[in-house]
């Protein structure tokens, strides 16, 4: 099912009656989510991503704008009639019911032509349980399950009525690191097997990038960029998006353009022909640095962090806006670094360097 959002806006009235400070949680969101895709809504806390999800589910009413599922306008349809499945951050399993009863619960509420006979309900419950691999835990209560198992039960409960759209609110944030990796692959697999259009909310860029077909980066209620994970990483539209995606994060510097050259401090690091002279922010991805004796960009060397396959060289530069500069290079470079070396020179890989306007923070292409 295709999901279309048109100028979707959510305004929360101010709590304090005297001040008229409204909070615009979601501002003029227009987007089409193609059928059968796994989409990640990504942004820092309070950027309106959960509000967007709740509006799609119908639990919150849009202040203005429209929501379409396929061709139907569902803006004013109540949650139970939208046919969505929703998985909450804390799973929201009914603690007094067994796993089986939890999964059966949505089916028992179906009315009209969706209503199922009892044996079919149970069959259906076992089918989704097998899909998320919890069919051997059906008689347990939620508090007898691990976090990962509870998560699967929550997904099974959301899937059992075969919703037209599956919504996941921070589905992995309550799991430990190892389980998170495993579960996100699981979500990907389940989504592929069922083909249900799935939207999930996360503040973890790695999570979003690793499994999504498409990600939406939001900030303060405004959509910053929409696209495939790799495209957004390689081609961010503004400084915020560039900073938000990538680990280690992008290195940002004060720089200026003068006579077709990009300067960081005193060093002319790149040719940028055809861009007018002005002060800019320069963002360089950690993998954009190549240590080289003839490198144009001089930094003070702090230390080298070994990570196995790669090493991370930590250095400083007075123009840097981050406390330290982190570059990721192949471990072979370490051998070339002398014990008492105090400076390091890099040459830069042009397509890993982004220039942003100082005022608008928008990307300047070169």
Sites of contact with other proteins (CB under 8 A): 57-59, 79-81, 84-86, 88-90, 92, 94-96, 105-106, 109-111, 157, 161
Rounded least distance, CB 279 to other proteins, Å: 48
Q: How far apart are CA 258 and CA 268, in angstroms?
A: 9
- Residue placing its CB nearer to other proteins in the complex, 154 or 319: 154
Q: How far apart are CA 141 and CA 139, in angstroms?
A: 7
Rounded least distance, CB 101 to other proteins, Å: 10
- Residue placing its CB nearer to other proteins in the complex, 13 or 350: 13
Q: How far apart are CA 32 and CA 35, in angstroms?
A: 9
Rounded least distance, CB 80 to other proteins, Å: 3
Phi, psi of 32 (to 5 degrees): -120, 125
Phi, psi of 233 (to 5 degrees): -65, -45
Q: How far apart are CA 135 and CA 347, in angstroms?
A: 56
Rounded least distance, CB 18 to other proteins, Å: 18
Query: Which structure tokens are listed for 35?
Result: 């059928």
Rounded least distance, CB 157 to other proteins, Å: 8
Which residues contact residue 45 at a Cβ distance below 8 angstroms, ignoring those fewer than 6 apart? 203
307 exposure class (CB count in 10 Å sphere: 0-12, 13-18, 19+): exposed
- Residue placing its CB nearer to other proteins in the complex, 33 or 160: 160
Q: How far apart are CA 323 and CA 302, in angstroms?
A: 12
- Residue placing its CB nearer to other proteins in the complex, 96 or 192: 96
Rounded least distance, CB 147 to other proteins, Å: 16
Q: How far apart are CA 176 and CA 249, in angstroms?
A: 22
Is the CB of residue 99 less than 8 Å from the CB of residue 137?
Answer: yes
- Residue placing its CB nearer to other proteins in the complex, 94 or 195: 94
Query: Which structure tokens are listed for 299?
Result: 């930094």
Degrees to nearest 5, angle at CA 223 with 27 and 324? 125
Which residues contact residue 365 at a Cβ distance below 8 angstroms, ignoring those fewer than 6 apart? none
- Residue placing its CB nearer to other proteins in the complex, 12 or 105: 105
Least Cα distance to 176 among 213, 151, 140, 155 occurs for 151
Least Cα distance to 147 among 186, 204, 185, 90 occurs for 90
- Residue placing its CB nearer to other proteins in the complex, 110 or 306: 110
Rounded least distance, CB 161 to other proteins, Å: 7
Rounded least distance, CB 172 to other proteins, Å: 16
SS3 state of residue 261: strand
Rounded least distance, CB 62 to other proteins, Å: 16
CB atoms within 10 A of CB 76: 10
């Amino acid at each position: 099912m295709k999901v279309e959002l048109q100028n979707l806006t959510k305004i929360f009235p101010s709590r304090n009656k005297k001040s008229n400070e409204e909070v615009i949680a979601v501002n003029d969101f227009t987007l089409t989510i193609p059928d059968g895709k796994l989409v990640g809504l990504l942004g820092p806390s309070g950027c309106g991503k959960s509000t967007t999800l709740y509006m799609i589910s119908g639990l919150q009413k849009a202040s203005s704008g429209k929501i379409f599922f396929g061709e139907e306008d569902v803006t004013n349809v109540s949650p139970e009639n939208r046919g969505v499945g929703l998985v909450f951050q804390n799973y929201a399993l009914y603690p007094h019911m067994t796993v089986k009863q939890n999964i059966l619960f949505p089916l028992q509420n179906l009315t009209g032509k969706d209503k199922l006979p009892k044996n079919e309900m149970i069959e259906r419950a076992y089918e989704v349980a097998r899909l998320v691999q919890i069919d051997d835990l059906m008689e347990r209560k939620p508090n007898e399950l691990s976090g990962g198992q509870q998560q699967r039960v929550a997904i099974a409960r959301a899937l059992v009525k075969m919703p037209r759209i599956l919504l996941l609110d921070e589905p992995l944030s309550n799991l430990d690191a190892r389980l998170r990796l495993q579960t996100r692959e699981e979500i990907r697999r389940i989504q592929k097997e069922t083909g249900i259009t799935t939207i999930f909310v996360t503040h973890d860029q790695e999570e979003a990038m690793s499994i999504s077909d498409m990600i939406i980066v939001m900030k303060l209620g405004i959509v910053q960029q929409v696209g495939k994970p790799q495209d957004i990483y390689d081609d961010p539209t503004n400084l915020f998006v560039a900073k938000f995606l990538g680990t280690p994060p992008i290195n940002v510097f004060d720089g200026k353009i003068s006579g077709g050259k990009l300067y960081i401090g005193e060093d002319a690091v790149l040719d940028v022909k055809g861009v007018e002279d002005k002060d800019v922010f320069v963002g360089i991805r950690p993998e954009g640095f190549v240590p080289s004796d003839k490198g144009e960009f001089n930094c003070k060397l702090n230390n080298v962090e070994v990570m196995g396959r790669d090493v991370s060289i930590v250095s400083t530069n007075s123009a840097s806006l981050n406390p330290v500069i982190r570059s990721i290079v192949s471990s072979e470079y370490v051998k070339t670094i002398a014990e008492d070396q105090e400076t390091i020179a890099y040459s830069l890989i042009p397509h890993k360097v982004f220039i942003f306007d100082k005022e608008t923070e928008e990307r300047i292409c070169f």
